Amino acid sequence: MTRVFWKVLKESRVPLTLAAAVGVLSGALLEMRLEALISLPVLLAIVPPLNDMAGDLGTIIVARLTTAFYLGSIEPKLRRNKGLRMNLFSLMLVSTITVLYISFILTPIYSITLNTGSMLLKVLIIVIIAGMMGVLFTLLSGILLSVLSFRKGYDPDIMVMPMITLIGDFLSIASVLLVAKMLGLV
């Protein structure tokens, strides 16, 4: 094996181990509420799409910025950076469309499939608030970490990607449980 194999293993080791540890803690958050979640499977069901959305948009921003930094089309700096703002704006637009899609198309399907129609409004509130919060903080974290890691000489595709899906997952699960708690569901 040559340089690339060992570089990937070496650079990925720390962020992935960190991701595994915090990922298990995110799962532990769910396990602590296992009884409530088993009695309300719709809450369990909305976790994967919200996790997907935050993690996906996080991976897109990191992948795009990494390529742009290597090509030199965006400078790796945080202040007065049109390229970063354009990427953030574009992906917030995508997240708004996606949250509306999850809210008004997928959530009713869940409610029918899992027979929890009476809670539709509360589930919609959880999806909209938890979804948007999760995405915004995930994108901001993705930008910050990509710029910092590239400036330190690390490849953001290797260093930041595992952390950004972790941040997206953790924020989504915590937001779902927080909003569900505020609505008295768990």
126 vs 166, beta carbon nearer another protein:
166
Decide whether 115 or 181 has the Cβ nearer to another protein: 115
Shortest spacing between CB 124 and another protein, in angstroms: 15
CB of 5 to another protein, least distance (A): 4
The span from the CA of 138 to the CA of 165, in Å, is 8
Q: How far is the CB of 179 from another protein (least distance, A)?
A: 17
Q: Which two tokens stand for residue 138?
A: 């995930």
* 145 secondary structure, DSSP code: H
How crowded is the C-beta side of 21, counted as CA atoms within 13 Å? 6
| 30 or 125: CB nearest another protein | 30
For residues 120 and 42, is the Cβ–Cβ distance under 8 A? no
CB of 13 vs another protein, minimal distance in Å: 8
Q: In the structure encoding, which two tokens stand for residue 130, read together?
A: 């938890």
Q: Report the nearest approach of another protein to the CB of residue 143 (Å).
A: 14
Nearer to another protein, 42 or 143 (CB): 42
Is residue 149 classed exposed, middle or buried when 0-12, 13-18 and 19+ CB atoms within 10 A define those classes?
Answer: buried
Nearer to another protein, 130 or 166 (CB): 166
Neighbours of 161 (CB within 10 A): 24
